[in-house]
Amino acid sequence: MADHRQVVAVAGVAHLGRYICEELLASPDFEVVVLARPSSNRDWLEEKGIQAFSTDYTTPSVLSILNTTNATTLISFINLNDDRYLTVHSALLAACQKSTACKRLIPSEWIGDIEAYPLKPAFYGATREPFRKKLKAQDTVTWTLFNCGWLADYFLPSAKTYIKPIDESPVDPNGWSACVRGTGDEEQSWTCGRDVGRAVVELCKAKDWEPVTYVAGEWSTFNAAIKVMEAFYDRPLPRTGKSWQEIQETLEAHAGDEELSGEAEMAQVEEMMVMGYLACPKEKTVRQREKYFAGVRFRDLCQLLHSAKEMEFV
């Protein structure tokens, strides 16, 4: 019997991409292959039995892989915050346009409300926005910009998730501390990485895509999340803070920088959380949940913490 499964190619698996790969592997509808640089570590891919193809992310290299595998969809997790983002993603798009079967593309976005705030953070405005314009200017490849707000996995001990801790996250469950930016009452949204993976699989099944897709497990605030953490673990969570004025001063100090420094990148993300830009738009997200993701159970923080307690790995 002929294999009816569609091939999905994943570029730059990293951490969130592992959940997408696992959920594609678990689906009877898809086969997954991975594009990776020759120098990348492939131990996890080999452990999962996922075939990896070496590429330099030029159009000819990617095109050859797409045609060899007969991939129909390409998903990118290549997170670059400089000019390389446009170079690499332009090559991915061109490869899809020239390919035999790969006419669907999900570029690397995975952030918040990009429709209301397309130029935030500023390093997204400089890198993602030019590529979005390229996507809109062509009609041979179907695409969507997938966004999930914060990853709820940042509230979990690192041993429980593929998602690695980041300094931008206000809550550090490993060091058991918190640094709240702004008041802590600004609305945020977050989604568990595993649930993002399941949603991406459902989206790959859908015939039609909207230009921007959102998912969210919960809308809440960091003050509320800290209370949930304290109640669940029955211990107070020591906290410090950083005011909006401090963040603004850092943004102003780096306003004329030619290159993005770590301090400037941090401040731009902090601006996003204080202004609520990382919260996915509720009305559209709920509508799309009904349209695309009715079969996905999106967990809130409390449910995720219980899952992590009951499971060795979320």
pLDDT value, residue 262: 96
* DSSP helix/strand/coil, 160: helix
More confident residue, 23 or 2: 23
| Mean pLDDT of the 68-80 span | 98
pLDDT value, residue 243: 98
**Secondary-structure breakdown of the chain: helix, strand, coil percentages, each rounded to the nearest 5:** 45, 15, 40
pLDDT above 50 (res 1): no
Pairing of strands 6-11, 30-36: parallel
pLDDT above 70 (res 271): yes
**Angle, CA of 220, 155 and 176, to the nearest 5°:** 115
Percent of the chain at pLDDT > 90 equals 98
The rounded distance, in Å, linking the Cα atoms of 123 and 294 is: 34
Pairing of strands 218-220, 188-191: antiparallel
More confident residue, 14 or 94: 94
pLDDT tens digits, 86-145:
999 999 999 999 999 999 999 999 999 999 999 999 999 999 999 999 999 999 999 999
| Mean pLDDT of the 205-221 span | 98
pLDDT value, residue 242: 98
| Mean pLDDT of the 150-160 span | 98
pLDDT above 90 (res 247): yes
DSSP states along 2-41: ---PEEEEEE--TTHHHHHHHHHHH-TTEEEEEEE-TTS-
The rounded distance, in Å, linking the Cα atoms of 50 and 21 is: 8
Q: Which amino acid is at 126?
A: A
| Mean pLDDT of the 38-58 span | 96
pLDDT value, residue 4: 85
pLDDT value, residue 14: 87
Average pLDDT score, the chain: 97
| Mean pLDDT of the 247-253 span | 98
pLDDT tens digits, 177-207:
999 999 999 999 999 999 999 999 999 999 9
pLDDT above 80 (res 3): no
| Mean pLDDT of the 256-266 span | 95
The beta strands (E) that lie in 158-211 are given as: 171-172, 177-181, 188-191
pLDDT value, residue 57: 98
Closest CA to 302 of 139, 147, 156: 156
